[in-house]
Structure 1
Amino acid sequence: MSEDQSKLPAVSEADEKEHGAVVVSEPIRDPGIEPHEPRITDIDPKAADRVERQVSTMFGLAALLTVGSCVAYFAIPRDAELVFGPLSGNANNMTLGLTLGLALFLIGAGAIQWAKKLMVDEEIVEYRHPAHATPEQKADIIEGYQQGVEESGFTRRKLISRSLIAAMAALGLPTIIFLRDLGPLPGRKLYTTIWAKGIRVVNDVTLRPIKPSDLQVGQLVNAAPANLAPIEEESPVEYQNAKAKAAVIIVRIAPNEIRTPAGRENWGIDGILCYSKICTHVGCPISLYEQTTHHVLCPCHQSTFDLADGAKVIFGPAARPLPQLPLAVDAEGYLVAQSDFTEPVGPSFWERG
């Protein structure tokens, strides 16, 4: 028995029957790396040139298909249909999917063909080493990278490199063109709501106008503008957009507990204050109110605003106070807006001054 075999644990005959154990007579030796066998493209320049043309053709077709998707986006009507027996679908969407899908497939197939047939395929052994690199190792890495670039043929095979660059550059065109589907630019819509001078404040559930006497100290009410009905009749989509932007919370706080910001001395009515319901972080609706502290909490990311101090941020990721709506009382004693909000509501955006 060899010395290596004597070090193996003993296995009884019962264990062999129960577990199917097998006693290895000799340790398995490291077979090493098999001898490299050259490919046809390694020894035949014509075969290598033929593969180069194949790969370049794939990349070139991918670029053409990508440009074709951009043309189809504008040329095919949005409501056109394609019918295949019992199956049908939107012609514009199907064309975009086919052209872009084939373009991506051809780029991937060309890259695989390039790697398998033209790039150097000799196996190497890389021993494990500490995580940090010595200056010598860094130099070896740079040298290896440069060697890899050379062996890939990217700089030498101009036809492949240029067609690949063209295909990848063409893929950026749909990204730019398809931005159109995000809809028209908002223009000044981000800066205004449907609140205006004299618009009554109504309960957002009952739609009843609100009088100061309807509110008790410590009470918070979710409210909306009274001029939503005409918008609802004209366009349900515009109604939902207008209602979401104009949503407000009405709160009544003891006047002696309010710290009024400069310039807002006449924005409240006997401790009744009105703020936007939309969090200035990412636009979540807020109304979780703590009466004793006058804090309102956003349920999404826990931004906290002090309604007794101009709704300034006291905790969380929000960067701006809640916009305040100036209030007044009309001739019939109902709460109305003095004007629209004096600043944009909702999350910050880059054009905001």
Structure 2
Amino acid sequence: MSIDQSHGHPGSDVATTSEGGLPERFENPGLEPHRHRMADVDPKAAKRAERQVAALFGLSTLGTILFVVAYYAVSIEGDSWAEIARQLRISTTLLGIGLALATFGVGAGAVHWAKTLMPDEERIELRHPMRGTDEDRDAALDILREGSAEAGIGRRPLIRNSLLGALVPLTVGPAIVLLRDTGPLPGNDLSTTFWKQGLALVHDPITDPEGLGRKIKPEDLTIGSVVHVLPEGIQAEEVEHPLDEIAKAAVLLIRLNPDDLDEVSRAGAYEGIVAYSKICTHMGCPVALYEQQTHHLLCPCHQSTFDLKQNCKVIFGPAKRPLPQLAITVDDAGYLVAKSPFTEAAGPSFWERG
């Protein structure tokens, strides 16, 4: 093998192996000839590209406006759970479309700007291992100023203004809207839920509109079944702030082989059927992903993973405590009911929780 030990400049020969009949050296082919874009040679094409970039930034602004308007315009309330579920779907869809347009418009506009209007000539500059001279540093600043001028941020006010018009609403609008919901610390509000001894477990009408609060018997569940449930009566008209109560009382009901459960889990289960709070103990996201082979529950927000076989012990992720278990049994009619309320607070942990 022949290796060139010299330190050449770009364009010098490159050493290769001489084995297998390959040449020992080959010439650096250099850069391909520069191909000018339409916007480089045609002022009308450049102006057209500028308008297209501004239109994409404008699309981003419209997406942000749609996000904010949808957040306030679509109210989550109604006379029936089917109506509430429909409004939730509409709200989620509009918020998703608005945020998607807002982020896509900024991203696509920036890419189109870079590919059609910003300089695209390839340049090679040797990297110096030590601090350059003052002259070199001044030259570098001149290059940065030249690059800024070539990018057109100063001489293309349409792009500059439309970019600012897209970025300011995108960063400020959703932030204010979403942070509005953080509110004060919950205090002891998460320490109590609607669950009480003897309350029947019923299908969550939002995730299962056809269930409409139907009660559940053990024989309705096969091993591996997962059902989203709520306490019976939580959808009654006299319940104050029903959505808040639902958010705290949401439970996952899952049937496993009783032999797969540890002693702690088995104590609150009924014939292998376990019920755990659906609210992640990290940030309160809904834990709704179940892996049948490993019996793991996964929170999709930050990947906290809970082991059903070990009383929902945290085995991965940022959550610091297990999901609270709802002890269950059956009533005289054979329906699953709560044996007792949650023995610990549902929802995320925080430093002022007693």
TM normalised by structure 1 equals 0.46
The normalised TM-score by structure 2 is: 0.45
Q: Give the structure with higher Rg (CA).
A: 1
